[in-house]
Amino acid sequence: MSYNIALNFEDGVTRFINCNEGETVLDAAYRNQINLPMDCSDGVCGTCKGSCQQGQYDLGEEYIEEALTDDEAEQGMVLTCQMVPSSDCVVNIPAASTLCKTGSMEASGSVTEVNLISSSAIELKITADADIAFLPGQYVNIKVPGSNETRAYSFSSRPGSRELSFLIRNVSGGLMSSWLVGQAKTGDKVTLTGPMGIFYLRPVGRPLLMLAGGTGLAPFLSMLEHLQASGCSQPVHLIYGVTNNEDLVAVEALQAYAAAIDNFSFKTVVANPDSGHPCTGYVTNHMQDAPLNDGDVDVYLCGPPPMVDAVLGYFREQDIEPASFHYERFTPSVAALEVA
């Protein structure tokens, strides 16, 4: 038996390795040619200290208090030289991937579909040539064919499949947008580098509130795919805000998730007051159904900077501090990364 271990480095790079039963994470990393920080490898120095908030493991009793205190162990801190996984795990490594003589994985794939699903959004589907592991909510850098430029996009598809999908904002004059709309065709080869990012779904132990703005819906579609496959006993509520009616996309997919996932509900909000939509204004105007529970809630937020700032301000004004708060900003423009 073996386990998949996601190593999250402090520069945002994630590398997945295979760890054999009874093998330490440090040994598995070295076997995969990833040099995690270490000096002694005996649980004495503490150099290999990281953290694990997801997965089951055993630390044994060989390490000393100076390397890892009981309080640190209770908080999820680990010594990778002593950590023996008994399930898939996510391990945070407090070092840059380059210092560990590794980096993002590069993969290739072929375009299968390009769909202009609204005037402001493009759906890109790619079939990868090999398996690409990622955590639900993460992104990859996709090289724009015919250039040396890359753009960052969140997966909207489920982990564990070679059939990848992305929800991309259609930026007028944007390098990737122009290629997708004007040149891309089925079978075109693309290069992907990643996965990347610390915005991903953690273990669900309390109610979830998901807040999406525009194509910031993409990572939530991946998260919902994961929840549909794994099951979820906690309430999950998504509020999805856009500017105009025509910007609303994937609503049928959200309806399907609501039918398939117990306790999942969603609401769409349109900012334009003349839209005729049942819910107008901003996401923060429609939080009455949100499972805030006086802060006993995990909040995930992905949208443009003004939306992120407004939500952060809302929680401050309401004097609510969520148990955990994960957010990702994106600024689509011609020059900047188009993060979906």
CATH number given to 105-196: 2.40.30.10
pTM, two decimal places: 0.91
CATH number given to 2-100: 3.10.20.30
CB 222 within 8 A of CB 159: yes
Taking only the tens of pLDDT, the chain with its 340 residues reads 899 999 999 999 999 999 999 999 999 999 999 999 999 999 999 999 999 989 999 999 889 999 999 999 999 999 999 999 999 999 999 999 999 999 889 999 999 999 999 999 999 999 999 989 999 999 999 999 999 999 999 999 999 899 999 999 999 999 999 999 999 999 999 999 999 999 999 999 999 999 999 999 999 999 999 999 999 999 999 999 999 999 999 999 999 999 999 999 999 999 999 999 999 999 999 999 899 999 999 999 999 999 999 999 999 999 999 999 999 887 654 333 333 3
Torsion, Cα of 209, 216, 272, 310 (10° steps): 60
Q: What is the 3-state secondary structure (H, E, C) of the chain?
A: CEEEEEEEECCCEEEEEEEECCCCHHHHHHHCCCCCCCCCCCCCCCCCEEEEEECCEECCCCCCCCCCCHHHHHCCEEECCCCEECCCEEEEECCCHHHHCCCCEEEEEEEEEEEEEECCEEEEEEEECCCCCCCCCCEEEEECCCCCCEEEEEECCCCCCCEEEEEEECCCCCHHHHHHHHCCCCCCEEEEEEEECCCCCCCCCCCEEEEEEHHHHHHHHHHHHHHHHHCCCCCEEEEEEECCHHHCCCHHHHHHHHHHCCCEEEEEEECCCCCCCCCECCHHHCCCCCCCHHHCCEEEEEECHHHHHHHHHHHHHCCCCCCEEEEEECCCCCCCCCCC
Domain boundary assignment for the chain? 2-100, 105-196, 208-329
CATH number given to 208-329: 3.40.50.80
